[in-house]
């Protein structure tokens, strides 16, 4: 299906865009913002907001018309290819399939200190009305917290005989999330032979879920992930037989 953005009337192609330019706020800066919007294909472009942010920077919001079309048939995404289980079903599947608790080790690696995301998945309190993996009696969860080095993560995964390692990366400046994830997956490949390696899962709001193979991990979870989705994936990937 071919679609266009909707602003004031169906299919009018109107979009809103925000950005910052490294110049102080004045008439010339507003003209520069409109020039950028025009060059990005917005025509006409209207300035709806401009505000100086500290010395020598201005934040802009522009609203305007684009002529581009979107073909929804050509969109590529990672669809959930496993059943969504209840906590009860997850526990029952692990008990029956593994006959021991499934060991999960989680961490925020590199210099990243954004633990809210991984805590939402692992901690008892969870997120979006769902309890985290710590609430599942059949999952043994070790949450290593923030700024964990890759060698420490590998060591702990070994000690805890991790079935799955869950890594969070929120900071994306200079592609830190990509570099750190590649370093992590390479370290596990080096430290453990195939078949002994834990399932490697990364998550964070700015990951492209299509990049799993490129980053050397088994699965990527992005914005809005809930603990139940992750628990269901663990059963799918490590236990099989979800009912």
Active site residues: 125
Candidate residues 21, 45, 120, 144; the one interacting with ligand B12 per rule CB under 6 A: 120
112 binds ligand B12 (CB under 6 A): yes
Least CB distance to ligand B12 at residue 234 (A): 10
The CA distance from 53 to 38, in Å, is: 23
Name the residue whose CB lies closest to ligand B12.
203
The reply on whether position 113 binds ligand B12 by CB under 6 A is yes
Secondary structure string (H, E, C) spanning 32-72: HHHHHHHHCCCCCEEEEEEEECCCCCEEEEEEEECCCCEEH
> Smallest distance from the beta carbon of 132 to ligand B12, in angstroms?
10
Binding of ligand B12 by 231 (CB under 6 A):
no
Judged by CB, which is closer to ligand B12: 91, or 180? 180
Q: Does 173 bind ligand B12 (CB under 6 A)?
A: yes
Cβ 71 to ligand B12 shortest distance, Å: 28
Angle in degrees, 0-180, between the axes of helices 176-191 and 150-159, rounded to the nearest 10: 40
> Angle CA(119)–CA(197)–CA(199) in degrees, nearest 5?
40
- Shorter beta-carbon distance to ligand B12: residue 66 or 164: 164
54 binds ligand B12 (CB under 6 A): no
Binding residues among 148-167 for ligand B12 as defined by CB under 6 A: 166-167
Backbone angles phi, psi at 187, to 5 degrees: -65, -40
Pairing relationship of beta strands 58-65 and 70-71 according to DSSP bridges: unpaired
Structural contact between residues 187 and 151, judged by C-beta atoms closer than 8 angstroms: yes
Q: Quote the CA–CA distance of 41 and 105 in Å, as a whole number.
A: 46
Integer Cα distance of 98 and 199 in angstroms: 15
Residues 196-225 that bind ligand B12 (CB under 6 A): 201-205, 221-225
Q: Tell me the site size for ligand B12, rule CB under 6 A.
A: 29
Interface contacts to ligand B12, rule CB under 6 A:
111-118, 120-121, 127, 166-168, 170-173, 201-205, 221-225, 230
């Amino acid at each position: 299906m071919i679609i266009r953005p909707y602003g004031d009337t169906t299919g009018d192609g109107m979009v809103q865009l925000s950005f910052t330019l490294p110049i102080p706020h004045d008439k010339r800066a507003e003209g520069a913002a409109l020039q950028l919007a025009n060059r990005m294909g917005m025509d006409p472009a209207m300035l709806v907001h401009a505000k100086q942010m500290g010395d020598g920077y201005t934040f802009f919001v522009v609203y305007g018309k684009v002529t581009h079309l979107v073909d929804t048939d050509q969109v590529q995404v990672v669809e959930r290819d496993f059943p969504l289980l209840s906590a009860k079903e997850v526990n029952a599947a692990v008990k029956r399939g593994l006959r021991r608790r499934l060991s999960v080790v989680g961490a925020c690696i590199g210099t990243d200190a954004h633990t809210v995301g991984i805590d939402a998945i692992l901690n008892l309190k969870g997120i979006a009305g769902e309890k985290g993996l710590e609430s599942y009696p059949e999952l043994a969860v070790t949450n290593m917290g923030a700024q964990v080095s890759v060698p420490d993560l590998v060591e702990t995964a070994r000690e805890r005989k991790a079935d799955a390692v869950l890594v969070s990366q929120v900071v994306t400046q200079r592609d830190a999330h990509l570099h750190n994830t590649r370093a992590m997956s390479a370290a596990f490949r080096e430290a453990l032979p195939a078949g002994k390696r834990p399932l490697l899962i990364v998550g964070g709001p700015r990951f492209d879920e299509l990049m799993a193979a490129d980053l050397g991990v088994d699965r990527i979870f992005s914005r809005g992930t809930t603990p139940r989705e992750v628990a269901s994936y663990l059963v799918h990937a490590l236990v099989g037989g979800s009912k």
